Amino acid sequence: MEKNICLLPGDGIGPEILAQGVRLLEACASKFGHRFTFTNALLGGAAIDATGNPLPDETIRACQKADAVFLAAVGGPKWDNLPPEQRPERGLLGIRKALGLFANLRPAMLLPELAGACLLRADIASRGLDLIVVRELTGDIYFGEPRGRDIRDGLRVGYNTMIYNEVEVRRIATVAFETARKRRKKVCSVEKSNVLETSRLWKEVVVETHKQYSDVELTHLYVDNAAMQLVRDPSQFDVILTGNIFGDILSDEASVITGSLGMLPSASLGDSGPGLFEPIHGSAPDISGQDKANPLATILSAALMLRLGFDMGEEAAAIEQAVRKTLADGFRTADIMESGKTLVGCKEMGSRVLERL
């Protein structure tokens, strides 16, 4: 298969970690007889420095033409004092919007090799943690109108609107059910339908959509309970389906309990057109340019691109297994270092995974 991948290295450790992801993709292409071509484009601080704009039109065009977008991270202290609309993070929100990416998929997995890093009690961690949060990304209280600040009866008030329409709910529910079909076939829909009308509509539409997915088990949890269950027994979850604000919070909770920020990939998908694949962490300016960054979240994002973007499950699994083998063989970057293991830098970690692929 031939695929064009648009690369957005961004800032800080971005270029270092993305380079390792690209090495793995190239090796995977030659192992499985594919041809991947790469286009580079500017985003974030790097784009501000070169053009004055965190998301140049040329970058949008390059992403739209690609089969997938592979992003590292943006931002850093150099650009922190710019006005909000000129900051690197604006580029990130802008590219998601330009590509119509309404679904954010965040796997959280506890690899047995890194069980020591998990923030949960050993007996809970030993039951395993392998879930994916499917979060709606373009609606909900973050975008609902009206929103604003006012003076009412002499008091300052702030207000936002939590709103979903049935089309928005159906399309994200469909993503969750399709994702579950490729996994353990369980979806847990998370909302607050005991209190919120928006959530009652959410639940109704999820139940309707489920009729086409009778092979997938559907359960429901209120968000407060879901937050508890995630730390009490995360092994019960396969796919968690939820809206924008609940997903924002739960996906961070789900990833932090694994204890390894430098290990976690993510995907953002739209109806059609290229998906965007990126590690969940930021540009880590404190370790940038020192060959210390952990490239594994980026390498695992490449695997996610193969599986979800190109339907190349076998190729994705090959990269994931190479990562696990590298960890099992004792190689660690500083952020996941334990005694008795071998400390390696960003490039060497990439090389070790490559050898095992």
Given the residues 130, 222, 248, 341, the one annotated as active site: 248
State yes or no: is 248 an active-site residue. Answer: yes
State yes or no: is 159 an active-site residue. Answer: no
Q: Rounded to whole angstroms, how far apart are CA atoms 274 and 5?
A: 9
Using rule CB under 6 A, residue 75 touches ligand NAD: yes
Among 134, 216, 269, 284, binds ligand NAD (CB under 6 A): 284
Using rule CB under 6 A, residue 294 touches ligand NAD: yes
Using rule CB under 6 A, residue 113 touches ligand NAD: no
For every residue of 208-238, which 3-state class applies, written as one string? Answer: HHHCCCCCCEEEEEEHHHHHHHHHHCHHHCC
Among 9, 54, 282, 350, binds ligand NAD (CB under 6 A): 282
Closest residue by Cα to residue 91 from 128, 132, 42: 42
Task: Give 17 or 25: the residue with its C-beta nearer to ligand NAD.
Answer: 17
Using rule CB under 6 A, residue 89 touches ligand NAD: yes
Residue 251 · residue 265 · CB < 8 Å: no
Letters for 297-336 (x = contact with ligand NAD by CB under 6 A, - = none) are x-------------------------------------x-
State yes or no: is 142 an active-site residue. Answer: yes
Given the residues 252, 291, 341, 347, the one annotated as active site: 252
Can you tell me whether residue 27 is helix, strand or coil? helix
Given the residues 3, 192, 213, 238, the one annotated as active site: 192
Reported residue count of the chain is 357
How far from chain centre, in Å, is Cα 70? 12
Closest residue by Cα to residue 262 from 356, 188, 349: 349
Given the residues 49, 80, 150, 224, the one annotated as active site: 224
Letters for 5-34 (x = contact with ligand NAD by CB under 6 A, - = none) are --------x---x-----------------
Q: DSSP letter string over 168-221? A: HHHHHHHHHHHHHHTTTSEEEEEE-TTT-HHHHHHHHHHHHHHTT-TTSEEEEE
Q: Rounded to whole angstroms, how far apart are CA atoms 73 and 264?
A: 13
Q: Rounded to whole angstroms, how far apart are CA atoms 14 and 281?
A: 10
Locate tokens 């060497």: which residue? 348
Can you tell me whether residue 357 is helix, strand or coil? coil
Among 261, 264, 303, 327, binds ligand NAD (CB under 6 A): 261
Using rule CB under 6 A, residue 283 touches ligand NAD: yes
* Choices 116-124, 125-133, 194-202, 291-299 (CB under 6 A): range interacting with ligand NAD: 291-299
Number of residues binding to ligand NAD, judged by CB under 6 A: 22
Closest residue by Cα to residue 46 from 58, 38, 36: 58
**Interacting residues with ligand NAD between 178 and 237 (CB under 6 A):** none
Minimum distance from residue 75 beta carbon to ligand NAD (Å): 2
Write out the residues near ligand NAD by the rule CB under 6 A. Answer: 13, 17, 73-76, 89, 92, 261-262, 278, 281-287, 293-294, 297, 335
Residues that are catalytic: 142, 192, 224, 248, 252
